[in-house]
Amino acid sequence: MKNAGPTLAWTILGLTLILIGGYLLFPVTRVQLTLVAADREHTSVLPAEPGEKITIGFEHSLYKVEQVETHSVQESELLLESVYFGSFDALNYYDPTGELPRKSKGSGYEVVFRPPLPGEVNFSIARSTPVWLIIGDSPPLFLTGIPIDFTRFFLRIIRRSRVQILLGELRS
């Protein structure tokens, strides 16, 4: 009877490498945050899973109340679910004719979109108030201390293999 030890070990090693390769090549959903200046962009890939919520908040520069957008992460896009306005005046600034469906929430108003609205998230970077971003249960990411020539940012969903994401992080 021939010794099966080395053959079994090579078989297990081969199967393990195939499984690891499949894991690294399988595409996953991530959020791409891009900061934009007139002559350059800076991009970061942030962890996110389909079904997670992304909230973007800031203090309204005119009315000095909180404003928060809530988006849901889908496999290939972001969906705007709601916008909270900390006062009627802030809501009225964006919807003076009262066309958006609104409901009272705390000291402010919430507009809930049914069905949610698809699309990229585009924001100007205000220097008068911090903008914060929360993905799922992660702590807030404050978009402060950004060089002054970056004037806006956008978020979008990307699907990349884990190895592409890892290599992208190693290059930056």
Question: Once rounded to an integer, what is the mean pLDDT over residues 18-45?
Answer: 91
Angle between helices 162-171 and 5-25 (to 10 degrees): 70
pLDDT exceeds cutoff 50 at 172: no
Least confident span in 2-16, 27-41, 80-94, 148-162: 2-16
CA distances to 40, 45, 69, 144 from 167, in Å: 21, 12, 31, 27
| Strands of the sheet with 41-47, listed across from one edge | 41-47, 27-37, 150-161, 121-124
Query: Which of 88-92, 146-150, 165-169 shows the highest mean pLDDT?
Result: 88-92
CA distances to 19, 69, 86, 133 from 15, in Å: 6, 46, 56, 41
Domain boundaries of the chain, sorted by first residue: 28-171
pLDDT exceeds cutoff 50 at 75: yes
Neighbours of 109 (CB within 10 A): 20
Return the structure tokens found at 138. 């992660």
CB-CB contact of 153 with 18 (8 Å): no
Distance of CA 97 to the CA centre of its chain: 31
Question: Once rounded to an integer, what is the mean pLDDT over residues 58-86?
Answer: 94
Confidence of residue 166 (pLDDT cuts 50, 70, 90): confident
Confidence of residue 102 (pLDDT cuts 50, 70, 90): very high
